[in-house]
A and B are shown apart, each in its own frame.
Chain A
Amino acid sequence: MTGIGAAFKLEPKYPEVPYEEKARLFAEIKADARYDDYLYGCYECGICVAACPSARYYDFSPRRIAQAAAREDVELIFEQIQEDIWDCSQCFSCLRCPRGNNPGGIITIMREVAVNNGLDSAREALKGYTRIIYKIMSTGTQVSPDMLQADAFPDWGPTVAATSENLELWRRALPPDTHHTTKTGWQISTKTLVELYLIWHKTGALDLISELDEGLHSLLEEVMEDLLEEEGYEL
């Protein structure tokens, strides 16, 4: 690069890959069975951006996602896989599109392609969720009562501290027996866990984790294999 432009050359935030690789990723997105139902044509009217909570906080636009896909702009789509798609909260407010597009759904597909291909952006984006992924995949429940600590969740209100002190007692006050738990959101039967672990194994969801976080993967694998072997399953 010569001239004035050189002074303003920005450092790329992610490693550059050949065009063919970007085209391959887009081909994988397009080949998804849901793709044709998620993208028709775009008026560029902006209703999806107006409805999008993430667009208020980030430099993020569901319209640009739909447009890039409609225009088959391979370079821009790759850029979006690296950055934009991780700013979406998957609330699907964008479904109010007058053309019937589903920008959030396109993002779902793009994220799956990013995860399946072990892209750094997916690894980076999911880094903060290790604990939650572990909880969901090992117990089937997400936020558990023992996570309710005042320092971790100050936004949960002024009574959080008092509640977390006598957590077990508070939980016992709940009418359903199944809620008398603190380590999980509710009681989970062994049968449910076995089914869940089999699903993670058979659908490849557990393999996905190995693409993203090897440590987390071995931790989960151990927990799952122990139970499944106990219950008489050969893996």
Chain B
Amino acid sequence: MSDTVVVIGGGPAGIEAARNIADLGMKAVLVEERERLGGTPIFESYAALTPHFDDAEEAMDGMIAALAERAGADVRTNSTVTAISGEAGDFVVTVDGPSGSEEVAAGAVVLCTGFTHFDPGRERQIYNYYQYPDVLALQDLEVMLKAHDVRVPSTGKVPERICWVQCVGSRDRNIGNEYCSKVCCGVASKQAIEVRKIAPDSRAYIFYIDMRMYGYWEQQIYWPAQEQYHVQYIKGIITEILEKQGGLIVRGEDTTMGRPMEVAMDMVVLSVGMEPSEGTKTMAGVLGVEQNKYGFIEVARPPLDTVSTNREGIFAAGAALGPADLEDTISSAGAAASKAVALIRRGSPAVV
């Protein structure tokens, strides 16, 4: 029985899982494919985190610094897991890194390989994401927000009229992603607030199917966006975006007003959903854990066990399990860490 847990993926979930494992007195080996920790919030240049508007880079740097203080946590960047053998309590995990291949004895594994943003040019091209420079995705606007400089790409001007189109790549049987990506309503609303702060003369519109901002996000994001920043929420999804007279025209139905609409915009932001990352799909194969039809990791015993996979001793956390906000991610990372440590302490797989 090894007292080491291998954590795969150095984003928020992986960092939190490794920190918890070390705090619980076990050894964590955190394997990250890229050259540094931080995951999607860092590599996609997130500006402010939803819903509290913390600076994403500062928040991640804080997590990374806290992990570095744990002697029990061994961080391996530029490294990947390429094979696993054995069983719960006695796995042998092959880690390929800069100094070659190493076999790590591990009692358990926590998979934290996260998500990727839906590619709005992947399926139907109805929004012309790759054709029109002024059609962006959430993460493209994050880069501008982080620089505190929001400009219409084709003109270099501050946008006067900007809109978000919700549920792009989510809740869509034609695309195959039938699930709600959970965070996009909150993220779009957060971005709209940021844009209205940076460009107070702009008008901001969010076209939606349902607004889904659960719990306290209502008061933290939705109401302030509407009431203080006068973001316009219009129930009705944009069917197409056209280039016209040097700007964009979005077409849809203003459903609650009962009329079709064609509205001019300087800039359109597609609220893209979540899909399993390449890392999640690859690692699922390497570890031999079950994926659901969308490619996310399937939990074996829902709903009261949210982190165990079908293979004993292998757990998953964060957005590898499906769409998750940061709060969900940190919570599931803690749950996965405690289950992994408990398995090793007990010396046998978890009692169901």
Contact = CB atoms under 8 A, between A and B. Distances in A.
Interface of A: 40-42, 44, 63-64, 67, 70-72, 99
Given A41-B233, A44-B233, A71-B232, 10 more contacts: A40-B226, A41-B222, A41-B223, A41-B226, A44-B235, A44-B256, A64-B257, A70-B230, A72-B230, A99-B223
Contacts, number: 22
A70 B234 CA distance: 11
Nearest to A71: B232
Interface residues of B, number: 10
A27 to B, nearest CB: 15
Interface string B220-244: 0011001100101101000000000
B257 A40 contact: no
B227 A63 contact: no
A40 B226 CA distance: 8
Contacts of A63: 256
Contact of B227 (A40, A44, A64, A71): A40
Contacts of A70: 226, 230, 232
- Among B222, B223, B232, B257, the most chain A Cβ lie within 10 Å of the Cβ of B257
7 contacts: A40-B226, A40-B227, A42-B226, A44-B233, A63-B256, A64-B257, A99-B223
B227 A41 contact: yes
A71 B222 CA distance: 16
A67 B256 contact: yes
A124 to B, nearest CB: 25
A40 B257 CA distance: 18
Contacts of A64: 257
Contacts of A72: 230
A71 B257 CA distance: 11
A41 B230 CA distance: 8
Interface string B246-264: 0000000000110000000
Interface of B: 222-223, 226-227, 230, 232-233, 235, 256-257
- Among A41, A42, A44, the most chain B Cβ lie within 10 Å of the Cβ of A41
B103 to A, nearest CB: 57
Contacts of B226: 40-42, 70
B227 A67 contact: no
Contacts of B232: 70-71
Nearest to A46: B256
A64 B259 CA distance: 12
A70 B223 CA distance: 13
B24 to A, nearest CB: 44
Nearest to B225: A41
A44 B206 CA distance: 14
Contacts of B257: 64, 67
Nearest to A44: B256
A87 B230 CA distance: 28
B302 to A, nearest CB: 31
A39 to B, nearest CB: 9
Contacts of A41: 222-223, 226-227, 233
A71 B205 CA distance: 10
A183 to B, nearest CB: 49
Rank and list the top 9 A-B pairs by shortest CB-CB distance, nearest first: A41-B226, A44-B256, A41-B227, A40-B227, A71-B232, A44-B235, A41-B223, A67-B257, A67-B256
A132 B227 CA distance: 40
A63 B227 CA distance: 16
A67 B256 CA distance: 9
Contacts of B223: 40-41, 99
A70 B226 CA distance: 9
A138 B230 CA distance: 45
A121 B235 CA distance: 31
Contacts of A71: 232
A72 to B, nearest CB: 8
